[in-house]
C-alpha cells in the first residue's frame, strides 16, 4: 500500500481526551472508568422487585474503545439498578488482550469481534453474542471524489485511512478487504489509527477521502456512508466473553442477564447497533 504523511496525531489526542473526560489513563493507553450514574441510564433501566442488591460488590470489564459510549451507558444502568460498582477499561483489542493475559483478573471482555477473543480463549469460560458490528465505507460529506465502492480506493487521487491492522478488528477487516478487492498495492494509505472512532474524525476534518469504519462510529461531522454492498460479507458480532478468573459469580451472573435485557438492547440500538439475535 502506498503511504503519504497525514497529521493525525493531534486529532487522535483530541479524541482521546474527549473520550476520557475525567477518567484515568494507564501507561498502555487504555482508559479506566469507575461508573457514574446518568439520567439517560436511569430511564433505560428502571428498578424492579427482582433486582438483586449487589451493593459493596464490583466487576472489572474490558471493552473495545469504539464501543465506549453505549457500553458506558449499559454499565451505568446496571450500577444504578443493582449498586454493583462497575470498573470498565477501554482500549484497542491488542491492549486489552495484553492486560487480560498479564493481569489474570477481570470478569468480562467485550470485544469488537469474536476473532479478538481467540488470543485469550484459555481465559474465557463462555461467550454470548450481543450485537452486530457492521463495517461501512465512509467518505467525505458530499462524496467529492465520487467513490462508489472499494475498487475506487485504488485510484491515485483517493486517500484512505484505516484502523491499525495489528491491533484493531476494523483495521484487520480493511486489510482483508483491500486484498480481496485487489487494491492492496494501489490504495493510497494516509494513516492508521489506534481506535475506530478516530477514523471518522480524520475523514471529517478533510485529511482523508475515505475510511473503512464501523457503522456506529460514522457519525462525525463531515462524514457520510457510501451506499455499497461491498462490505456486506464482512459483518462481525460483538461478544461478551466471561473470564475464567471472575470471582464474583453473583454479580457476574446478574450482569450476564442484564446484557440480554430490553434495557441493554435499547441502549445498543439507540447508538446505531443491530442486535445479534
**Phi-psi region at 213: left, alpha or beta (left = phi > 0; alpha = psi -120 to 50):** beta
pLDDT value of residue 19: 37
Q: Point out the residues of the chain with pLDDT beneath 50.
A: 4-29, 35-49
pLDDT value of residue 57: 96
- Contact in structure between 107 and 242 (CB atoms under 8 Å): yes
| Distance separating alpha carbons of residues 26 and 124, to the nearest angstrom | 24
Question: What is the separation of C-alpha 33 from the centre of its chain, rounded to a whole number of angstroms?
Answer: 15
pLDDT value of residue 8: 42
Q: Going from the N-terminus, what domains does the chain have, and what CATH number goes with each? A: 2-10+135-234 (3.40.190.10), 35-132+237-275 (3.40.190.10)
pLDDT value of residue 88: 98
pLDDT value of residue 39: 37
pLDDT value of residue 277: 75
pLDDT value of residue 197: 85
pLDDT value of residue 257: 96
pLDDT value of residue 196: 84
Bridge partners of 82, per DSSP, are none
Amino acid at each position: 500500500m502506498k503511504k503519504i504523511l497525514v497529521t493525525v496525531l493531534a486529532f487522535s489526542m483530541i479524541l482521546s481526551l474527549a473520550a476520557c473526560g475525567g477518567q484515568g489513563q494507564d501507561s498502555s493507553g487504555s482508559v479506566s472508568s469507575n461508573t457514574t450514574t446518568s439520567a439517560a441510564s436511569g430511564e433505560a433501566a428502571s428498578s424492579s422487585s427482582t433486582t438483586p442488591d449487589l451493593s459493596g460488590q464490583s466487576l472489572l470489564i474490558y471493552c473495545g474503545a469504539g464501543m465506549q459510549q453505549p457500553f458506558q451507558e449499559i454499565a451505568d444502568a446496571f450500577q444504578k439498578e443493582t449498586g454493583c460498582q462497575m470498573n470498565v477499561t477501554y482500549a484497542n483489542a491488542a491492549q486489552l488482550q495484553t492486560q487480560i493475559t498479564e493481569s489474570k483478573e477481570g470478569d468480562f471482555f467485550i470485544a469488537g469481534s469474536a476473532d479478538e477473543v481467540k488470543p485469550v480463549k484459555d481465559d474465557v469460560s463462555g461467550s454470548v453474542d450481543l450485537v452486530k458490528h457492521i463495517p461501512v465505507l465512509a467518505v467525505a460529506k458530499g462524496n467529492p471524489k465520487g467513490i462508489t465502492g472499494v475498487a475506487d480506493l485504488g485510484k491515485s487521487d483517493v486517500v484512505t485511512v484505516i484502523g491499525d491492522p495489528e491491533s484493531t478488528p476494523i483495521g484487520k477487516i480493511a486489510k482483508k478487504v483491500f486484498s480481496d478487492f485487489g487494491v492492496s498495492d494501489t490504495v493510497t494509505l494516509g494513516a492508521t489509527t489506534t481506535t475506530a472512532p478516530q477514523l471518522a474524525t480524520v475523514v471529517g476534518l478533510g485529511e482523508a477521502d475515505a475510511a473503512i469504519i464501523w457503522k456506529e462510529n460514522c457519525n462525525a461531522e463531515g462524514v457520510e456512508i457510501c451506499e455499497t454492498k461491498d462490505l456486506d460479507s464482512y459483518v462481525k458480532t460483538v461478544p461478551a466473553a466471561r473470564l475464567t478468573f471472575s470471582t464474583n459469580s453473583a454479580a457476574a451472573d446478574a450482569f450476564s442477564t442484564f446484557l440480554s435485557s430490553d434495557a441493554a438492547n435499547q441502549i445498543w440500538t439507540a447508538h446505531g447497533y443491530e442486535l445479534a439475535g
